[in-house]
Amino acid sequence: MDFEVPEEIQELCRAIGTFIDREVRPVEEKHHDELESRGVTPHLVGVARDIMGKSVDAGFYALGMPEDVGGGGLGELGMCFVRETVAGSGTWLSLLMMGDLPFGPNRMLYELGSDLQRERYLMPLMRGEKTTCIALSEPDAGSDLSAVQTKAEKVDGGYLLNGKKHYTTNAPYCDFMQVFTRSEHGHSILLVDKPSEGLEIGRIQKSMGEDDLQSEVFFDDCFVPEENLVGEEGMAFAYAARFLSNERIAIASTAIGVMDRLVRLMVEHATTREQFGRPIGDNQAIQWMISDSLTELYAARSMCYDTAWRADQGENVMQQVSMTKLFATEAVCRVADRAVQIFGGMGYMRECPVERIYRIVRVMRIAGGSSEIQRMVIARTAGVGN
Ligand SMILES: Cc1cc2nc3c(=O)[nH]c(=O)nc-3n(C[C@H](O)[C@H](O)[C@H](O)COP(=O)(O)OP(=O)(O)OC[C@H]3O[C@@H](n4cnc5c(N)ncnc54)[C@H](O)[C@@H]3O)c2cc1C
């Protein structure tokens, strides 16, 4: 195993850094107050689409997708390096330039999508003309997706959908939804256009991240044509298991990029902020918080690179993916907590970057399979529990 970042990826990461400085940072600074206090406004949706469009033009939007559909053809390890660069940049809007889950193109549509689905859904996602969302969770089905109740009843020419989803990221702003349903032959995935008769976006669900990205979704006799079934009926669990790994590695590598930035901020503050006539970093108490954070960053990064490399070799990495997601997301929350502590009162203030990071990283331990669910997977893959 050689985790030296290849020269071409280093060059790509530098180009991404330049893109962020030129196209994203000024926009984020301009809309800082709006982003902080009012969540996504219609105006900001336009801003987001603009960044996505520029990223598509620059060739950064779908780096993890195969080249034959216009993607960058990067493997999991290459994507880890790229995501670290983006997440470590200190900008939030830059996450949109990646076309990552849940709003952009994904491997499931690439590998399972019919020709029609590729043309109608995947390719517009690749070009940044459309966005999507992934609607799995329901009020009574979160960690346990087997409890999903949204029902797809077979009718002439398609399905009638009835049920309710919640916490669906990007549902209010997307062009179509990827909906996990219960159907006659088990659970299935359907593509639902927005708008569609019988589909209603419910209230925005205000969150700790204050971004207004999640909402409820209601289906009331919503007709979905047969050709919008992804893959085969009854195979949704197998597909989820196959494609969830990408999301989990993506969350872990994003956590690592954020941790890297936090450590840089902590070191800078510890060496410049003076109390009792000397930098606070001269105190062992502060040094240890930085040392522990660096150690956890190193461990998380090593795990992530190893897991991504193994995935690229075609190994079954289900256990490693869960261990990496678990460790990296728990670690980033500990590091964010230490960062707030090192910044003191400033760390609690909205004007300080670590305050927002502290709030935003919290979701990483919940979404994409909670820490407890990762532990469950790790135990099961070790032959314990069922
Ligand atoms: C910001 C945000 C964005 C989201 N975006 C999306 C999205 O785009 N699409 C989507 O479908 N969903 C989305 N979700 C939902 C997310 O996937 C769920 O919140 C998550 O799967 C947990 O489900 P739950 O909230 O119902 O919690 P529950 O499943 O009720 O779990 C509650 C607690 O119990 C624990 N628990 C549950 N089962 C076990 C067990 N067997 N053993 C031990 N502990 C257990 C959990 O770990 C958790 O700590 C999002 C959530 C958030 C917060």
- Overall average pLDDT of the 227-241 stretch: 96
Q: How high is the pLDDT of residue 45?
A: 86
Residue nearest to atom 31 of ligand 1 (CA): 143
Q: Quote the CA–CA distance of 291 and 293 in Å, as a whole number.
A: 5
Structure tokens at 107: 């491997």
Give 98-133 pLDDT, tens digit per residue: 998 899 999 999 999 999 999 999 999 999 999 999
Cis peptide before 279 (omega within 30 of 0): no
Answer whether 253's CB lies under 8 Å from 13's CB: no
* Ligand 1 centroid distance, CA of 57 (Å): 35
Least confidently predicted of 138-147, 241-250, 268-277, 370-379: 241-250
Q: Quote the CA–CA distance of 161 and 226 in Å, as a whole number.
A: 12
Q: Is 363 in the pocket of ligand 1 (CB under 6 A)?
A: yes
Q: Is 108 in the pocket of ligand 1 (CB under 6 A)?
A: no
Residue 144: alpha-carbon gap to chain centroid: 20
HEC string of the chain?
Answer: CCCCCCHHHHHHHHHHHHHHHHHHHHHHHHCHHHHHHCCCCHHHHHHHHHHHHHHHHHCCCCCCCCHHHCCCCCCHHHHHHHHHHHHCCCCCHHHHHHCCCCCCCCHHHHHHCCHHHHHHHHHHHHCCCCCEEEECCECCECCCHHHCCCEEEEECCEEEEEEEEEEEECCCCCCEEEEEEEECCEEEEEEEECCCCCEEEEEECCCCCCCCCEEEEEEEEEEEEHHHEECCCCCHHHHHHHHHHHHHHHHHHHHHHHHHHHHHHHHHHHHHCEECCEEHHHCHHHHHHHHHHHHHHHHHHHHHHHHHHHHHCCCCCHHHHHHHHHHHHHHHHHHHHHHHHHHHHHHHCCCCHHHHHHHHHHHHHCCCCCHHHHHHHHHHHCCCCC
Q: How high is the pLDDT of residue 44?
A: 86
Contacts of 6 (CB under 8 A, 6+ apart): 78
Q: Is 169 in the pocket of ligand 1 (CB under 6 A)?
A: yes
Q: For the domain 7-111, what is the CATH code?
A: 1.10.540.10
Q: How high is the pLDDT of residue 152?
A: 98
Give 1-33 pLDDT, tens digit per residue: 788 899 999 999 999 999 999 999 999 999 988
Rounded to the nearest 5°, which phi and psi values hold at 367? -75, 155
Rounded to the nearest 5°, which phi and psi values hold at 103? -95, -15
Q: Which atom of ligand 1 is nearest to the CA of 208?
A: 1
- Overall average pLDDT of the 326-343 stretch: 98
Q: How high is the pLDDT of residue 43?
A: 80
What is the chain's mean pLDDT, rounded?
Answer: 96
* Ligand 1 centroid distance, CA of 296 (Å): 25
* In CATH, 132-230 is 2.40.110.10: yes
Give 45-72 pLDDT, tens digit per residue: 889 999 999 999 999 999 999 999 999 9
Q: Which fold has domain 237-381?
A: Butyryl-CoA Dehydrogenase, subunit A; domain 3 (1.20.140)
Q: Quote the CA–CA distance of 224 and 246 in Å, as a whole number.
A: 27
CATH 1.10.540.10 residue ranges for the chain: 7-111
Residue nearest to atom 25 of ligand 1 (CA): 142
Q: Is 376 in the pocket of ligand 1 (CB under 6 A)?
A: yes
Q: Is 204 in the pocket of ligand 1 (CB under 6 A)?
A: no
Q: How high is the pLDDT of residue 40?
A: 73
Structure confidence at residue 386 as a pLDDT band (50, 70, 90): confident
* Ligand 1 centroid distance, CA of 137 (Å): 8
Q: Quote the CA–CA distance of 188 and 195 in Å, as a whole number.
A: 21
Give 189-201 pLDDT, tens digit per residue: 999 999 999 999 9
Does 261 score more than 80 pLDDT?
A: yes
Q: Is 370 in the pocket of ligand 1 (CB under 6 A)?
A: yes
Q: Which atom of ligand 1 is nearest to the CA of 102?
A: 8
* Ligand 1 centroid distance, CA of 230 (Å): 24
CATH 1.20.140.10 residue ranges for the chain: 237-381
Ligand 1 probe mutation, 100, 167, 219, 360, most atoms within 8 A of CB: 167
* Ligand 1 centroid distance, CA of 163 (Å): 18
CATH 2.40.110.10 residue ranges for the chain: 132-230
Q: What percent of the chain has pLDDT over 90?
A: 91
* Ligand 1 centroid distance, CA of 151 (Å): 20
